[in-house]
Amino acid sequence: PKKELIRPIEILRSLRNLVYPELNELEDSIFRKESSKNYSYTYGARIFNYANKKNQVQEYIIPLLKKEPETKQAIIVLYQPLFDSNLTDNAKPCLICIFFRIIKGKLNLTATIRSNEMLLGWPANIYQLSLLQKRIANEIGVEEGTITTISHSAHIYTNYDEELEEVLRKI
């Protein structure tokens, strides 16, 4: 990934009163096909083993983009209504879907994020999305293009005011 994607994570990791995941942990959580015992869900399990049945990247996205590079149907869905539409469970994925489109020979990615904590969540999300984009672009033989995120609720929790001020000083 480009240096500018890693820099916010480096800054967050440098904060003395915050434990932020290592790059390899972020990579593992986006590519791991199994659920994690540390998290109620992981994006990797939903992407590469959707509902314990479908590897959305290998079985759909890559073959589709190879067969039809102009397609507008290359979408990964992470929200699972059978599990996530439960009123008593608040562990809902924030990253809802990822759309891929090849434009002028480059793989562009658009992610829809339901709830996006911008200080801690977004740097990890954009880094993970860039890794996924790179992997798919390499597999289909195109360059990486843009990454766009659409956040329906972008926010920073007020209990991180000190960390936010420190991050802003370091930028």
Q: Which of 94, 102, 111, 124 is catalytic?
A: 94
What DSSP element (H or E) covers 124? Answer: helix 121-140
Pair of tokens at residue 8: 């916010």
Burial annotation 27-53 (CB, 10 A radius, 16+ → b, else e): bebbbbeeeeeeeebbbbbbbbbbeee
- H helices then E strands: how many in the chain? 7, 6
Tell me, yes or no, if 94 is annotated catalytic: yes
Residues designated as active site: 94
